[in-house]
Structure 1
């Protein structure tokens, strides 16, 4: 049942067909496991590796096979849009504290779970590869351990959780998220209600061309629309506008843009808005004073005109902590947008003439850095808001951040939809935000609205300028934010069901005991709804087709259907004696229908 090359075999109750081997034939170790059945189809394997001597381990590979039966698609946290099965050319997916998360799901064509596995160690690097083995019509699942600098050790253990229950894929992933959240080492950060308030972001609307007058005017405008938080992005720290990172690292206010930054922050907060400030955490630009100081304590992977700091050095960690302490303590900020932390990659040791590194592993040092940052910041403000961006969204990052934002996808409704839903699947109560929404002023109101309907199941971040869009766009945006705020509890805390992951979630449903909201994103797709009972339903047409096809099952309830356009203007009312089966509702592009049960 188990084959092992050179080391003694696993206990006989280990995963069928599993093998474990060392890439270095000279490395001696033994491996054993203890299995716990948590529920029918759900097992946890406590895997223990004992080395023959204390050492910095060489890579060890663990593999097992599962039959390729009723499996149509795959999912992992950094997957992107390709959900198809793949063969032997598939690449290894790297995961560590600030990149992805060690979980992988295989599901049927209907979206039912077939094989979801996850590791308890989400700090240290692990490679995951899942590929089709054509000759045996099976999937080979591979874990690669220790393929990065590690400190010396004599033993290592972790839990491998395997879920083969016939449940929805998203329920299997939610189970993994809850499993991690229940571990002391990944206890999620508190999430203030403020993390769920709509945001005005300066990035797409201003880029680095910032001014306090422009920011304050757009904050006053967006506050009236419903935004309660400002994120001031890149550009506040430099007079340069070339979009590079050459001047990052010193983190001093560009006084040409903000002559009195503390007073500016106070004016924004007087609008009853919170203020978050952007930092590119690892980057130290080669035109900064910080680079002159830390140039020998950077990772061997320059980024154009900047380098990445090495968090294994105490002085690096101390400098970063001081920056963020100042921002919260002296400038009166409510939080930070901490960017590019996935660039703290697992690299070989760096030598410095001025300081000794006190850690071997970059991911472990990064975990220590953020643990210390958050201890400092929560002392100053227990409700501090911390935003991280997609890719660094695993269970370790939930310890530090309470906002996860979709990866950049300007004017790309499809990507924004898929990325926000992907984030929701693992994030638990951590607030998931959209990438900043923007559109061209010449776009039709209906198509601009598609950008917003795409992010309905996340907290909206808006990044258009008041004076750059017309009145019709402003009316549409104002309506959308009212619509979202009225349903915020349903959309953010209701039961979320993203259907058909293989086709990138063409229908998404949120429901609670009193109402449901469903959006169709693919033309000619039937929106299959859960039983309405006595609940009202809001059905959104996020396509350019003029109809919604909704399947109401065998309900015999009578209902009133009211149809609205993308600005919330009533278009029609229809009464149905018995709403059942598939009902076609004429609804314009970016419009919606409200279904109210009457008897």
Structure 2
């Protein structure tokens, strides 16, 4: 009997490789099928450098090593809460088009980067090992790239002052090579969703009433989430696959959609087209193509590597949009296809690329102003070609998670627009609870999922105020130059600037640098638990007008004063904001 050698516990236990200087203090070793491979580094200056590896048809391993120096954290698209340093025996990931991206950024205690890299092709399945090498006092990243006919390419960015600053040129590199979906105006307006408000207990009467109120509040679109389809109850997925409306909940689904659209809202419906449950009428026909269980209860996953599956998914989605008059779809659980990764068959990412390209073409033929929502973790640079609404992963009632995840997504978003996970809060809580959720979604299109007709008046005032402020500041929040700071600090001070207006949201007690002479308006949002914001005033002495709003939008104070350099404390209620305008 043959005994397989166990995988090395740490990277230091792997067979030695020949390293060479690459960029800054980064060194690289490149192996093709276990032997040294030829490589070259193209590009100079502060922009993106391209590492080219010529090893046609061979599996390639790229080893990167960096002296630890003052390293403080390691960010990657799938980091979630693990964004500090980990040991190299712990850091593992498998990524592809449908699940994150082979990219990472090592940074020090000042926030400056020590290593920034990404694969040029975000589609194939890539395995990574990363972390601190305890034996060598270094941080390492090992990438295992599958065989390819074309040269492999890795992207690198020289040291930058921040993670956001380092990822900006990477984002630009991808954007220049991507054909993004057009983004209709409805994708850039606040959206109301049924999920947290109703879960699967939805029906036409309730949704129509919520849509009426949402339209009056300034929402632009509505998502009917899980529960509209037959067998859509019980929080399981044993009945999915047919994608036919539940007649008891929606006796005339197309008519209901038309009524909602008359309010001015665009209408999307949830669908998980790769899931197949045993109770679906189509189960017998498609079970041979769904041989592995999903990570969600009750369902298996259709294997997108089969052309028949891809055609079936496209036909199903087109039928749902066309027959019921929808403006688009919320496409869920695409990442479940990764259960077929590394099984010896074709690449899952490549198959999903074919599927999504066909899906976009077919749906746009039916709806030229198509709205298509994708969700973390499948919101990487390549997905801008297939979705124009890129949503944060589920985080009910967690404003911090919404802030962190939407900013993470935006760091490498090359098209579309980033959306928050639907906001949920307790209607019986103080108004600050509602405002805090809205503040957590500032740097994305806010989705909301509360029952609007049961909110107390103060909560409705807060919702109306913050949505209005968000629309006013949308150029700064969505298109401005954004600097969120260190990832491991959870982006507690986020700055965005455009058109002479600076917006800063602060989520902990700290001094906020303010340079009022440099901007026509400065908006400071108090996301902390203190009823004040401490300003670190910089620049020349300047007369200003200050307007302080409470969490529900009420003006608490409006005064004219003079700012002089130094520290100054402003009374701003928690979850309120202050507007500072020059008054020279």
TM-score bracket for the superposition, by shorter chain length: over 0.9
| Match 2:175 to one of 169, 174, 181 | 181
Tell me if the contact between 1:7 and 1:31 (Cα under 8 Å) persists in the aligned partners: no
User: Which runs of structure 2 are paired with 1:134-283 in the superposition (5 Å)?
Assistant: 134-146=134-146, 155-183=149-177, 186-283=178-275
* 1:339 equivalent in alignment to 2:332: yes
For structure 1, list consecutive stretches of 5 or more residues without a partner in the other structure.
Answer: 52-56, 352-358
Shift of residue 239 of structure 1? 4.5
Give the CA deviation at 1:246: 1.0
Aligned positions of 1:106-117 closer than 5 A: 106-117=106-117
Task: Please give the alpha-carbon distance, in whole angstroms, between the structure 2 residues aligned to 1:327 and 1:145.
Answer: 38
The alignment's TM-score, normalised by the length of structure 2, stands at: 0.92
CA contact (8 A) 1:30 1:50 kept: no
Aligned counterparts of 1:41 and 1:495: Cα–Cα separation in 2 = 17
**Aligned to 2:353, what secondary structure does the other structure show?**
helix
- Which one is further off, 246-255 or 532-541? 532-541
Choose which of 23, 38, 43 in structure 1 pairs with 2:44.
Answer: 38
Across the aligned residues of Structure 1 and Structure 2, the Cα RMSD in angstroms comes to 2.4
Tell me whether 1:132 sits opposite 2:132 in the alignment.
yes
Matched, 1:583 2:568: yes
State the distance in 2 between where 1:123 and 1:349 align. 14
Moved more, 459-468 or 13-22: 13-22
Residues in 2 aligned to 1:407 and 1:360: alpha-carbon distance in whole angstroms: 28
Q: CA deviation at 1:350?
A: 8.7
Preserved CA contact (<8 Å) 1:285 1:306: yes
- Matched residue of 2:434: which SS? helix
The corresponding residue for 2:370 is 384
The one of 516, 523, 533 equivalent to 1:548 is 533
**What whole-Å deviation, never above 9, does each CA across 1:282-304 have from its counterpart, x for those lacking one?**
11111102221111111423443
* Separation in structure 2 between the aligned mates of residue 70 and residue 203 of structure 1, nearest angstrom: 44
Return the offset for 1:17: 4.3
| Native 8 Å contact 1:563 1:593 kept in 2 | yes
SS at match of 1:511: strand
TM-aligned CA deviation for residue 325 of structure 1: 1.1
The DSSP-based 3-state class of the residue aligned with 1:263 is helix
Per the TM alignment, residue 94 of structure 1 is displaced from its structure 2 partner at its CA by 1.6
- Report whether the alignment pairs 1:88 with 2:88: yes
Alpha carbons 2:500, 2:519 under 8 Å: kept: yes
Q: Flag the 1:532–1:187 CA change in 2: closer, same or farther, 3 A.
A: farther
Distance 1:589 1:332, change over 3 A: same
Show the 5 A alignment for 1:186-585.
186-303=178-295, 304-345=297-338, 347=340, 360-522=346-508, 524-529=509-514, 532-585=517-570
Preserved contact between residue 509 and residue 516 of structure 1 (Cα < 8 Å): yes
Number of residue pairs aligned between Structure 1 and Structure 2: 569
SS of residue matched to 2:359: helix
2:28 alignment partner, one of 18, 23, 42: 18
Of residues 334-343 and 90-99 in structure 1, the stretch that sits farther from structure 2 once superposed is 90-99
Change beyond 3 A, Cα 1:576–1:465:
same
- SS of residue matched to 1:295: helix
Q: Which moved more, 1:307-316 or 1:470-479?
A: 470-479
1:119 aligned residue: 119
CA separation in 2, counterparts of 1:225 and 1:160? 46
Hey, what does 1:100 align to over in structure 2? 100
Query: Are the equivalent residues in 1 in contact too, given 2:48–2:173 (CA < 8 A)?
Result: no
DSSP-derived class of the 1:560 partner: strand
Between the aligned partners of 1:391 and 1:564, the Cα distance in structure 2 is 36
Structure 2: gaps (5+ residues): 1-13
Q: Deviations over 1:166-222 (max 9, x none)?
A: 332202112111111222xx4322222221111010000011111101000000001
- Aligned counterparts of 1:536 and 1:372: Cα–Cα separation in 2: 46
* Shift in CA distance, 240/141, structure 1 to aligned 2, threshold 3 Å: closer
Alpha-carbon offset, residue 87 of structure 1: 1.6
**For 1:565-589, what per-residue CA distance to the aligned partner results, in whole angstroms no more than 9, with x for missing partners?**
1111111233322343222101111
Whether contact under 8 Å (1:210, 1:236) holds in the other structure is: yes
TM-score by length of 1: 0.90
Q: 1:475 to 1:348 in 2, by over 3 A?
A: closer
C-alpha deviation, 1:562, in angstroms:
1.8
What are the Cα deviations for residues 319-352 of structure 1, in whole angstroms up to 9, with x where unaligned? 111111112222221111000101111626999x
Contact 2:31 2:37 in 1 (8 A): no
**CA distance in structure 2 between the partners assigned to 1:218 and 1:500 by the alignment:** 39
Q: Distance in 1 between matches of 2:16 and 2:39?
A: 14
- Residue 377 of structure 2 aligns to a residue in which SS? coil
In 1, are the aligned partners of 2:434 and 2:463 still within 8 Å (CA)? Answer: no
Q: Alpha carbons of 1:214 and 1:348: their partners in 2 closer, same or farther (altered >3 Å)?
A: closer
What SS does the aligned partner of 1:451 have? helix
Residues 88 and 140 in structure 2, CA contact (< 8 A), matched pair in contact too: no
Q: How much has 1:129 moved relative to structure 2? A: 2.4
Q: Could you tell me whether the CA contact under 8 Å between 1:562 and 1:573 is conserved in 2? A: yes
- The alignment status of 1:594 with 2:579, answered yes or no, reads yes
* 3-state secondary structure, aligned to 1:344: helix
- Once the two structures are TM-superposed, the CA of residue 281 in structure 1 deviates from its matched residue by 2.5
**Greater CA drift, 538-547 or 468-477:** 468-477
